[in-house]
Amino acid sequence: MITLTTPAEINSVLGGNVPISYNKLVVAPFTMDGVTQTITAQLRLTATAAPTMQAIVGSLRINVATSELIIEVTQLDFYRRIVLSGGQNTAVLAQIEAAQLQIENGLVSLGVIAGTRSAGV
């Protein structure tokens, strides 16, 4: 969970002037795919001062093959595409591979799957 430094403010009533600060950002659930080299996630903005306010949802996509990160929150008319550097791509890929490694090693060590882990897809 991320506490936003500059939270989005949304009026709590139609046509009113009672802004509510949506100050908490949660990135979950998320999926990392080693084959397509992508991470996808749902974004959820909430207001801690007004927990009854409806959450604002969006999406996050990171694609190593196209070197891009896209964040989209349609309710706020927000779309941002960021081109990733080679180093950022390498870091994202390393996180995907590390997670895959831990899950596969865990399945083998728990005896859920018999065998040994080998690198690659």
Cβ atoms of 32 and 39 closer than 8 Å: yes
Q: Confirm whether 9 is domain-assigned.
A: yes
E-strand spans in the chain? 2-11, 19-33, 38-46, 56-63, 68-73, 78-83
Provide the number of structural domains found in the chain.
1
Q: Confirm whether 96 is domain-assigned.
A: no
pLDDT at 68: 97
Q: Confirm whether 16 is domain-assigned.
A: yes
Q: Confirm whether 21 is domain-assigned.
A: yes
Spans in the chain with pLDDT lower than 50: none
User: What pTM does this model have?
Assistant: 0.81
Q: Confirm whether 104 is domain-assigned.
A: no
Cβ atoms of 10 and 2 closer than 8 Å: no
pLDDT at 22: 94
Q: Confirm whether 118 is domain-assigned.
A: no
pLDDT at 121: 58
Q: Confirm whether 31 is domain-assigned.
A: yes
Q: Confirm whether 107 is domain-assigned.
A: no
28 three-class SS: strand
Domain that holds residue 72: 2-84
pLDDT at 114: 82
CA dihedral 108, 112, 113, 114 (to 10 degrees): 80
